[in-house]
Structure 1
Amino acid sequence: MNGAQAMVRTLADAGVGVWFANPGTSELHLVAALDGEPRARGVLCLFEGVATGAADGYGRMAQAPAAVLLHLGPGLGNGLANLHNARRGGTPVITVVGDHATAHERYDAPLQSDIAAVAGSVSAWARRPVDVADAGPAAAEAVTAALAGGVATLIVPADVAWSEGGDVAAALPAPVPEPVAGDALEAAVAALTGGEPCVLLIGGDATRREGLDAAGRIAAATGARVLSETFPARLERGAGVPAVERLAYLGEMASAQLEGVRHIVLAGARRPVTFFAYPGKPGDLVPDGCQVHDLGPGATGALTALADTIAKQARPALQVAGRPEIPPGALTGETAAAVIGALLPEGAIVSDEANTSGLWLPGATAGAPPHDWLSLTGGAIGQGLPVATGAAVACPDRPVVCLEADGSAMYTISALWTQAREGLDVTTVVFNNGSYAILSMETTRVGAVPAPPEPGTITRDMVDLSRPALDFVALASGMGVPASRARTTGEFAAQLGKALAEPGPHLIEAVVPPLG
């Protein structure tokens, strides 16, 4: 057994059978090893950023890692943005990066690079086995590291992969979540029961049903408000699920949500800050005089312990079922959201990178049948289509809806080809407003110009996507995905209903005006 076979079989024994891959010469022994492992599934992606984003989407829904196979340092570099998103979301991912054979390193070949340095920026754990005997054990360690909630990176020299003498390593014990520390629990109890305005800010696994139930019980017993982090990795929501408001993206809106709060209890979330610095405005969103209390790791367990302490008899308030009416007329971000809220199927997985066109989506879909919402955890755009791809591989029995902005879509548009190749049930809606609308808005907010960019200026040109116009129907059709274009709510409702009713991938280009 060579080193590549030892790694592949070790990972398969640990339940890691899906490999999102864009391999090269140095990884071909690993590819060949997949052929010899009946539990392995190779999913080819045409760009490394699609492979890493798909592994992120898979991990969010499967709660277990997929492997992503990349070619040397440049391949890892191409996939880095979506590994950043996975890191920020705490997604279990195993990144396998091929490297030059050990004896070849001294030649400084054209693709030679410091892979460990690049990997270190996104990895919770990284290891480079130096001989074939270490191949299996390194793979076993990678699984344990990923299951702890993060990106684990295996850097595999080609000679370690091709050399004989490898062996399968037994899976290591799964990591056990740490219990909430007694002093942290006591501080949170005091904050929540002291009579002062308190916010419970949740993230991580606490945005799933068990954590939401515990947070809702605490809110019902104490009067505390529950907010989730702005971009939760996976938020369970819909009718019959405890409702939770998300912390606003815009700093001034988030400050309004937190105004007057004297205590913020963190459960799986980070201290709230603005996404960027703005001239003359604070970056820290914690109000003056407010104390922050962190429950530490294991958000759901910590919330459950807290709820059992102060809210044993309480019941969470559940979201009431309700859908918007489909309005007549032209398609806008607001009317498109109403159509999506009216038609979203039960059990759907929504990959949301709609950006400015999606501002109305939370309200329009709140009372839809229960569903999962996957958001842009790290802010690096180009996530929506790949995450939808990985989620569909992880959950083939559930419909996946990808809500995608036009500019973001172009970063990883080749994910459509993988969806077609694999026959994945993904319905993609691209909101085409012909611009990087978020940048147009932020240009004013950072004070770069006093008003929205003027026509004919370089600033305006840098946010304009209309010269030439992007044709997403042609792009999708060229990659084997049936596609259509909608300009009215009637057209959009008919096309969305048809796409959701048919298996396999579909794309709808929703032509909408830019925000403002």
Structure 2
Amino acid sequence: MNGAETLVETLADQGVEVCFANPGTSEMHFLAALENPRIRSVLCLFEGVATGAADGWARMMDRPASTLLHLGPGLANGLANIHNAKRAGVGMVNVIGEHSTRHLKYDAPLTSDIQGLARPLCHWIRTTDGSHAIAADTAAAVAKGNEGLISALILPGDASWGEAGELKRQPKATTVRPAPDAARVDHVVKVLKSGEPTLIILAGRSMRGLPLDLAGRIAATTNCRIATQFFSVRIERGAGRAPLERIPYAVDQAIAFLSGFKHIITVETGEPIAFFAYPDKPSLLKPADCQLHSLVEKGEDSAAGLEMLAEALGALKTLPTLQARIEEPMPQGALNPTSIAKALSYAMPEHCILVDESLTTGRESMGLTAGARPHDTIQNMGGSIGYGTPVATGASMACPDRRTFCMVGDGSAMYTIQSLWTQAREGLPVTTIIFANNTYAILKAEYANMGAGGEGKAAPGPRALSMIDIDNPTIDWVAMAKSMGVPAVSVDTAEDFTQAMINSTREAGPVLIEVKL
């Protein structure tokens, strides 16, 4: 058994089921080893698609996928979506090819400092020290991925093709999230019993399943409110779930939302902050006299912490207030953020997955889809665009029995549109919704927010405008999708958009809907 075969077999032993790959010459032995039927190999035509797909897989499966990246430039191409996964606390095992050790001294064109490239965004980095070390290194990399961390296992060519001998099976790593400190829970009990206005902010794994139910019971018992940050890793929402408010994105609106609270309790997150710094606006959003209390830190068990809190409050027998299904007629007329959100609420089937990278157009979606059928929502927590279509690809790979909807602006979609090809090749049930306003609309708003044009000049001038408009030439999304094997339609009314979404749920594979705005 050579080193690459040892690596793939150990990945499978450790519970890794899929490898999103963009291989090159130095990874050919790894490619051969992926004939192993225990690992599903998925070709991605850009490394940012591979790392984003691994993110989407892990968000739905709560365990890491692996990637295969080609040397330093391949890693560099994937780093933006590694950044997004890191900010979301999502584990990932990146296998990065390297030149044979004897070849490095010649400084061939693709030679680079792979560890240096990986260091800012990967929690665990190791260049394997020969074929004999690969099994143990691979098990260590997966163990870190199971903790919600990013691993980078660098695989020199000679370690890959070298003889590894008989495989030494590694014990399967198990990750146990610790419960929060009991004294912390006791402190939060006193805060909630004070009767002062209190907000609990949920994040991480606390926004679904048992933790969400417990949070709903605590809210019903104490009259506190429960919310999320503006972006969240994954939320179970819609009819039959405990509803969560959402702290607004815009600084002034967020400050107004938080203004009445005397206490903020955090679960797997920190203090609410502005996404960017703006002239003459604060970075911290809560009132100065509002106290911050941590119940569950990142990496701790939110289910255990919320259960401890609910038990101490006598809330376990209290029924949470659950979101009712809101039935509305099919929206008609012009397409705008409100009609688009109502179309989503009308058309999304039960237990679908909604990946949201819609930035400008989708900002109405969370409030107006609260009463939709039960579904999961996934959002971009790192802010690096080109996230939506790869994450939808990985989420759909993890849950092929559920239709995945991906909302993405046309500017963002251009970063990783290669995802469509992988979706078509794998026959994934993904509906990609492209909001085609032919501009980076978010940047027009931010231009005004930043006061970049000076006093009294909210709109960018012609040269600045040319850098954030993408209508010269206009992108033909329907033709682009069809060229990659994805059926596509273009819509310009709310009723046509709604019907196109409904039609897409009847398809076995991917569909693209261009929403012309």
Q: TM-score, normalised by structure 2?
A: 0.96
Give the counterpart letter for 1:251 in structure 2. Answer: V
Runs of 4+ in 1 over 6 A off after TM superposition: none
Aligned to 1:309: 312
Aligned to 1:459: 464
SS at match of 2:376: strand
Aligned counterparts of 2:483 and 2:476: Cα–Cα separation in 1: 11
Out of 413, 429, 432, the position equivalent to 2:433 is 429
Structure 1 contact 206–300 (Cα < 8 Å) conserved = yes
Aligned counterparts of 1:304 and 1:416: Cα–Cα separation in 2: 42
Structure 1 contact 44–418 (Cα < 8 Å) conserved = yes
TM-fit CA distance, 1:168: 4.0
Give the counterpart letter for 2:459 in structure 1. Answer: P
Aligned to 1:275: 275
Structure 1 contact 326–335 (Cα < 8 Å) conserved = no
Aligned counterparts of 2:311 and 2:170: Cα–Cα separation in 1: 37
Give the counterpart letter for 2:153 in structure 1. Answer: L
Could you list the per-position Cα deviations for residues 340-391 of structure 1 after superposition, in whole angstroms to 9, with x for gaps in the alignment? 1101000101111111100221133211111100101111111110011001
TM-fit CA distance, 1:216: 1.0
Higher deviation after alignment, 253-262 or 440-449? 253-262
Identity %: 46
Aligned to 1:157: 156
Structure 1 contact 50–386 (Cα < 8 Å) conserved = yes
Aligned to 1:507: 512
SS at match of 1:359: helix
Find out whether 1:324 has 2:328 as its counterpart. Answer: yes
TM-fit CA distance, 1:99: 1.0
TM-fit CA distance, 1:399: 0.7
Could you list the per-position Cα deviations for residues 267-310 of structure 1 after superposition, in whole angstroms to 9, with x for gaps in the alignment? 01122110111111110113102221112222232122111211
Aligned to 1:196: 196
Aligned to 1:254: 254
Structure 1 portions without partners, runs of 5+: none
Aligned counterparts of 2:503 and 2:367: Cα–Cα separation in 1: 24
TM-fit CA distance, 1:132: 1.4
Structure 2 contact 14–173 (Cα < 8 Å) conserved = no
Q: How does 1:468-479 map to 2 (within 5 A)?
A: 468-479=473-484
SS at match of 2:505: helix
SS at match of 1:435: coil
Structure 2 contact 242–320 (Cα < 8 Å) conserved = yes
Could you list the per-position Cα deviations for residues 479-513 of structure 1 after superposition, in whole angstroms to 9, with x for gaps in the alignment? 1100010011222222222111111000010011x
SS at match of 2:459: coil
Q: TM-score, normalised by structure 1?
A: 0.96
Out of 331, 336, 341, the position equivalent to 1:337 is 341
Higher deviation after alignment, 378-387 or 100-109? 100-109
Give the counterpart letter for 2:484 in structure 1. Answer: M
Aligned to 1:142: 141
Give the counterpart letter for 1:307 in structure 2. Answer: A
Give the counterpart letter for 1:155 in structure 2. Answer: I
Could you list the per-position Cα deviations for residues 195-219 of structure 1 after superposition, in whole angstroms to 9, with x for gaps in the alignment? 2111101100001121111111111
Aligned counterparts of 2:367 and 2:278: Cα–Cα separation in 1: 28
Structure 1 contact 141–172 (Cα < 8 Å) conserved = no
Aligned to 1:76: 75
TM-fit CA distance, 1:73: 0.8
TM-fit CA distance, 1:183: 2.3
Aligned counterparts of 2:367 and 2:290: Cα–Cα separation in 1: 29
Find out whether 1:216 has 2:216 as its counterpart. Answer: yes
Out of 300, 303, 310, the position equivalent to 2:303 is 300
TM-fit CA distance, 1:117: 1.7
Structure 2 contact 235–377 (Cα < 8 Å) conserved = yes
TM-fit CA distance, 1:451: 4.0
SS at match of 2:67: strand
SS at match of 1:382: coil
TM-fit CA distance, 1:173: 3.1
Give the counterpart letter for 1:508 in structure 2. Answer: I
CA distance 1:452–1:326, shift in 2 (3 Å): farther
Higher deviation after alignment, 444-453 or 82-91? 444-453
Find out whether 1:47 has 2:56 as its counterpart. Answer: no
Higher deviation after alignment, 287-296 or 380-389? 287-296
Aligned counterparts of 1:95 and 1:393: Cα–Cα separation in 2: 18
Give the counterpart letter for 1:46 in structure 2. Answer: L
Structure 1 contact 273–283 (Cα < 8 Å) conserved = yes
